[in-house]
Amino acid sequence: MAPSLRFLLLLPATFFFMQTLAEAATCSDCFTQSQAAYYPNSDEIGTDTGRCGYGSFGATLNGGDVAAVSALYRDGVGCGACYQVKCTNSYYCTDDGVTIVVTDQGSSGNTDFILSRRAFSRMGQTTDAAASLLALGVVDIEYRRVSCSYPYKNITIKIDQNSNYPYYLAFVIWHQQGRRDITAVQLCETQNFACKLLDRSYGAVWTTTSPPSGPLSLRMLFSDENGDETWVVPVNNIPQDWKAGETYDTGVQVNS
């Protein structure tokens, strides 16, 4: 009887330990340890040639608090995602760090992030602390994904300059809100509801040859880390006579 009793007494503790490990493995709010550098030979903001396809908009997005990432780029799916990044040296670094938006792909040594100088400096407690961080060049950090928020901004599409009406359409999605990824995009004719799945050219740029005709309804598939997926249909349509270089407000925000 004694061995059986001992087993029963240990079982709850073992179960609790296994449950704790499972919760840790799926913790979406936990921080990950890494390193970060900053863009060399740049001004305070980001780059206008980032691999997400945002152009000059990507340099000033989020006030210039932007970054290039390596593995987190995820073949472009990671573009537009927001992360809280904070350095770990308590002498120089703030408790909250900085929230950045992914606008580019890149790596430097063992870093997961290459921040704009502005974002890198904002991890420092003071101006002098920020200067010391910049002098270090590479710092230890911890990061986690957070929700993107653009108050009073709807998701917007920017028609690429290389688009050629009505034969070829390419556009980039701006102001991706919330904490989910855009993993698929469709264009649908508003009259007969025939839809066409677009290709992710690179980054946040979506393209199609022979796009549907007439006013177009945009459909975006939002996916989270748990595998849940939701199709979002904007309020506003893309006009029938869409033009290269134009921006169109979708009329929706997706903050969850």
User: What is the C-alpha to C-alpha distance for residues 209 and 244, in angstroms, rounded to an integer?
Assistant: 14
What pLDDT is stored for residue 26 in this prediction? 55
Give the separation between CA 202 and CA 184, rounded to whole angstroms.
13
List of E strands, 96-237: 98-105, 113-115, 139-146, 156-159, 168-174, 181-189, 195-197, 199-202, 205-209, 216-223, 229-232
Q: How confident is the model at residue 256 (pLDDT cuts 50, 70, 90)?
A: low
Residues 231 and 208: their CA atoms lie apart, in Å, by 19
What pLDDT was estimated at residue 27? 77
Tokens 């340099």, located at residue = 59
In the sheet where 168-174 sits, what is the strand order? Answer: 199-202, 205-209, 168-174, 156-159, 247-249
**pLDDT, position 42:** 67
Is a pLDDT exceeding 80 seen at residue 213? yes
Residue 96, token pair as written in the block: 């909250």
pTM of the model: 0.88
The pLDDT tens digits for 147-170 are 999 999 999 999 999 999 999 999
Say how far apart CA 69 and CA 50 lie, in whole Å. Answer: 11
For residues 34 and 138, give the distance between their C-alpha atoms in angstroms, rounded to a whole number: 10
Mean pLDDT of 228-249: 96
